[in-house]
Amino acid sequence: MSERPPKGPSGGDLLAAARHAAAGGALVLAAEALGRRVPAGRGAALPLGVVGALAGAGVWAGRRAETRVRRLQREVARARREDAGAAQDRVLAALRGLDARAQRLERVGARLERAAEREGVRGERREDRQAKQAAKRLTDLRRSLREVEERLGDRVRAEAATSFAQTEALLNLLCLVSPRSALPATRGWAASPDLLLTYVSEVLAAPPGTDVLELGSGTSTLWAAYALEVRGGEGRVLALDHDERFLERTRAALERHGLAARAEVRHAPIEDLEVAGGTQPWYAVRALEGVSGLGVVLVDGPIGSMHPRSRYPALPLLRDRLVPGAVVLLDDAGRPEERELVDDWAREHPELSVEHLGHEKGTSLLRVPRT
């Protein structure tokens, strides 16, 4: 009897079919389980565990199916040798069973895919996460923006209030004196109008014939000279400056305004000075020779960067040169170092009254009693 060649699928076909069916079988089980939990069309989110379950079940089912396929391949080989017809029937029956399971899987898989698409399950999750991150970033940005707005608002309001106060002070200054030419800028390194208004007012009110001393020359020297001119009679302003460039500028401005007779700008280099048991830089004391009968002193130098107590020596050195009723004005009194030295002055000279004026840069006003 000649050997009959086996009909039906080859071993390779069987293996591919079995792999497909195995994965399908696992997914069918999982999908069925899911199908019971997620009714079609209701679109609940897929639990993450299901994906793991599907993968695990797929591996397990794959192994089982490969075992079965190897068995089928052995049967095909046996059919080739022996009763091919009977073996082939068994193989075909087995394949039909696997195929039916694969078809069920495809239907359930398609159903799940449609449900996922309909509800946008996976997309919705990613979008949800992105939306949450974007919302958080937006909230943080809004908070920062509010803080910046508040700080900026506070600064703008403060600056507007200060600017108005300075403009108002400048207008009032022009009621007290009438400059003949444009004056150097105020604020910044120079005295601000609020201090200048107090300064000019004090010069106007100072006892007749008294002089004015300025430590640190500039625009303030011109206002003092104008005030002395308005007050009339004797009285000059002496301004010390350690820096000859600024001294020359002030001198030229005094000339331009026709105030040279009312003011003197004197060079006073910075030197070491023995004061209050220590040594610190200050104007050369010889620059004070002949200075007495002071009605007003403006302490606006030496510059703070030279020494934390750069302005301290003024009062110890000048106290005896102040007339009754004289005032000492300290600029930049808002700085902690200046506040500290005013406290020292007040302690060392309890006879002086002390006032802190709420000026732009802070002004301390110390007054000698009139009697």
Tell me which residues touch ligand SAM (CB under 6 A).
Answer: 189-191, 216-220, 241-243, 246, 300-301, 303
- Cβ closer to ligand SAM: 75 or 332? 332
Nearer Cβ to ligand SAM (60/246): 246
Is 236 buried (19+), middle (13-18) or exposed (0-12) by CB count in 10 A? middle
Q: Is 322 left (phi over 0), alpha (psi -120 to 50) or beta?
A: beta
- CB of 184: closest distance to ligand SAM in angstroms? 7
34 forms beta bridges with: none
Nearer to ligand SAM, 25 or 193 (CB): 193
Report d(CA 353, CA 369) in Å as an integer.
8
CB 302 within 8 A of CB 268: no
- Cα 186 from chain centre: 31
The contacts of residue 197 (CB under 8 Å, 6+ apart) are 169, 172, 173, 176
What is the smallest separation between the CB atom of 156 and ligand SAM, expressed in angstroms? 26
Residue among 188 and 336 whose Cβ is closer to ligand SAM: 188
Smallest distance, Å, CB 163 to ligand SAM? 18
Q: Which residue is nearest to ligand SAM (CB)?
A: 218
Minimal distance, residue 260 CB to ligand SAM, in Å:
17
For ligand SAM, the closer of residues 219 and 363 by Cβ is: 219
DSSP string, 301-342: -S-GGG-TTTTTTHHHHHGGGEEEEEEEEEETTTSHHHHHHH
Compare residues 9 and 184 and give the one whose CB is closer to ligand SAM.
184
- In whole angstroms, the minimum distance from the beta carbon of 254 to ligand SAM comes to 12
* Closest separation in Å from C-beta 134 to ligand SAM: 50
